[in-house]
Structure 1
C-alpha cells in the first residue's frame, strides 16, 4: 500500500484539519464529533440541508458544504457510516429555525444512524425530514443495503435541494424537490481496479489485468457481473443501457448527464467516455441539456467510472443552474 498518510487511524481527522486550513471563511470544522459546516451557519429562517457518510468518497460530502448546497456534512471513518451523535451535532449547529432536511444514501448503517439522529433532534423540537437516495440500477440488494444503493445521484440531489433552500424555499418544498430528484435519477458504475482502505492495507477485491467489474458500488461492493475488459464504447454502453432500461428516458427527454471518476480515472479518459455517452444518447433522441464531468463521488483510488442521468424539467434545471459556492463545486457566485 502506497498512500500519503501518517497514521491510518487518524487519516480522517488529519484530512479535516487540512480542509479547514484550505477553506477559511467558507467552512467551519469541528473534530469531536466531526462535522463540516458552512462558516456562516446557522442561517436564520433558512431550511438547513445536512448529509454525510463514510470518508473516502471525497469531495462527497464535505466538499459540497457551502452556500447553494449543504449546510453541514458528517464525515464518518473511511467507508463507515457517521454516528448518530455526529448527525445530531450537525443538525444542532446549522438549524436556522426553518427545519432540516437530511439527505441519506441508501446504505444500512447510514439509514439507521440518520434515523436515530432524526428521532433525537425531533425530540428537541426541530422539524426534521429524511430523504433516502437509491439511484444505483446495478443491484436490487447487496451486503450493504436493503434495496438499491445511493451513488452519483446524491451529488445532483444535494445541489438541487441546496439551491432551493438557499432561495428561501420552505421545508415542504425542499422535501418535494428531493423526492422528485430521487424519482428521476439513475446511475451505474464500473471498476477496473479496487480501492485500498488505509487501515486494511490491501485492495478490497482482486481483478485480473483483463477483467472489469460491471455495476460496482462506491465501497467496492460487487456488481452485476465480472466481464472481460472492453473498449470505451462497450464500457459506456454497459453503463448506459441498464440506466435507460430502468427509467423511461424516452425520445425528446431532457437530461443532465454526470460522468464521474471513481478516483483513479484521469480526465483524459473521462472526457472520452463522456463524449461517447453524449453520442449514444443523441442517437436515441435524448437531449443532454446539462453536464457534470469529474471526480465528484469517488472510491479512494479506484480506477473506474460511473454515469448518472437525471430527467430534467424547467424547475430542476433552474435549480441546477443557481449559484453555488463550495470547495468542490462552484459557479455563478
Structure 2
C-alpha cells in the first residue's frame, strides 16, 4: 500500500483538519464529535441541509458544504457510516428554525443512523425530513443496501435542493424538490481497478489486468458483470443503455449529463466518456443542456467512472444554475 497518510487510524481527522486549513473561509470543523458546518451557521429562517456517510468519497460530502448547497456534512470512518451522535450534533448546529433536511445515500448503516439521529433531533423540537438517494440502476440489492444504492446523483440532489433552501423555500418545498431530483436521476458506474482502504492495507476486491466490473458500487460492491476490457465507447454504451431504459428517457427530453471519476481516472478519460455519452443521447433525441465532468463522488484511488443523467425541467434548471460557493463546486458569486 502506497498512500500519503500517517497513521491509518487518523486519516479522517487529519483530512478534516486539512479541509479546515484550506477552506476556513467557507466552513467550520468540529472534532468531538466530528462534523463540518457552513461558515456562519445556523442561517436563521432557512431550511438546513445535512448529509454525510463514510469517508473516502471526497469531495463528497465535506467539499459541498457552503452557500447554495449543504449546511453540514458528517464524515464517518472510511467506507463506514457515521454514528448518530455526530449527525445529531450537526443537525442541531445548523438548525435555523425552519427545519432540517437529511440527504441520505441508500446504504443500510447510513439509513439506520440518520433515522436514529432524526428521532433524537425531533425530541428536541427540530423538524427533520429525510430523502433517501437511490439513483444507481446497476443492482437492486447489494451487501450494503436494501434496494438501489445512492451514488453520484447525490451531488445533484444536494446542489438543487441547496438552491431551493437558499432562496428560503419552506421545508416541504425543499423536500419535494430533493425527492424530485432523485426520482428523475439515474446512474451507473464501472471499475477498472480496485481501491485500498487505509486500515485494511490491501485491495477491496481483485480484478485481472484485462478485466473491468460493470455496475460497481462506490465501496467496491459487485456490479452486474465482470468482463474483459473494452474500448471506452463500448463501455459507455453498456452503462448508458440501462440508464436510459430505466426512467425511461425519451426523445425531446432535456437532461443534465454528469460524468464522474472514481478517484484515479484522469480528466482526459472522463471527457472521452462524456463525448460518447453525449453522442448517444443526441442520437436518441435527448438534449444535453447542462453538464458536469470531474471527480466528485470518488472511491479512494479506484480507476473508473460513472455516468449520471438527470431529466431537467424549468424548475430544476433554474435551481441548478443558481449560485453556489463550496470547496468543490462554485459558480455565480
Q: What do residues 26-65 of structure 1 show as CA deviations (whole Å, max 9, x unaligned)?
A: 1100011110100110000000000001000000000000
* Shift, 1:12, TM fit: 0.4
Please say if 1:235 is aligned against 2:235: yes
* CA distance in 2: counterparts of 1:263 and 1:106, whole angstroms: 21
Give the corresponding residue for 1:138.
138
Unpaired runs of 5+ residues, structure 1, are none
1:148 CA drift (Å): 0.1
1:285 aligns with 2:280: no
In structure 2, what is the Cα distance between the partners aligned to 1:142 and 1:41?
Answer: 36
State the 1:171 CA deviation.
0.2
Q: By how many angstroms is 1:193 displaced?
A: 0.1
TM-score normalized by structure 2? Answer: 1.00
Verify: 1:15 aligned to 2:45, yes or no: no
Cα distance in structure 1, aligned partners of 2:288 and 2:53: 30
Deviation of residue 246 (structure 1)?
0.7
Whole-angstrom CA distance in 1 between matches of 2:128 and 2:206: 42
- Superposed, 1:34-49 pairs within 5 Å as 34-49=34-49
CA–CA distance in structure 1, aligned partners of residues 241 and 294 of structure 2: 21
Q: How many angstroms does 1:150 deviate by?
A: 0.1
- In the aligned structure 1, how far is the partner of 2:60 from the partner of 2:25? 20
Q: Distance in 1 between matches of 2:210 and 2:21?
A: 42
3-state SS, counterpart of residue 290 of structure 1: strand
Rounded to whole Å, the distance in 2 between the matches of 1:209 and 1:239 is 20
| 1:94-138 per-position Cα deviation (integer Å, ceiling 9, x unaligned) | 000000000000000000000000000001000100110100000
**Using the alignment, how far apart are the partners of 2:284 and 2:187 within structure 1?**
18
Aligned to 2:306: 306
Query: Scaled by the length of structure 1, what TM-score is found?
Result: 1.00
Matches of 1:331 and 1:129, distance apart in 2: 28
User: 1:235 deviation in Å?
Assistant: 0.7
Instruction: Work out the CA distance in 1 between the residues paired with 2:19 and 2:172.
Output: 33
Q: Residue 260 of structure 1 aligns with which residue?
A: 260
- Equivalences for 1:107-256 in 2 at 5 Å? 107-256=107-256
Offset at residue 159 of structure 1 (A): 0.1
Deviation sequence 1:272-319 (CA, Å, 0-9, x none): 110111011100100001000000000000000000000000000000
Q: Which residue of 1 aligns with 2:318?
A: 318
CA shift at 1:24, angstroms? 1.5
What's 2:29 paired with? 29
Query: Partner of 1:226: helix, strand, or coil?
Result: strand
Tell me by how many angstroms 1:248 deviates. Answer: 1.2
What is the CA RMSD across the aligned residues, in angstroms? Answer: 0.4
2:63 maps to what in 1? 63
Question: How far off is 1:182 after superposition?
Answer: 1.3
SS at match of 2:75: strand
Partner of 2:77: helix, strand, or coil?
Answer: strand
Q: In 2, Cα distance between the equivalents of 1:25 and 1:295? A: 23
Q: Which residue is equivalent to 2:85? A: 85
**Which contiguous aligned blocks of 4+ residues in structure 1 show a shift greater than 2 angstroms?**
none
Report how many residues are paired: 333
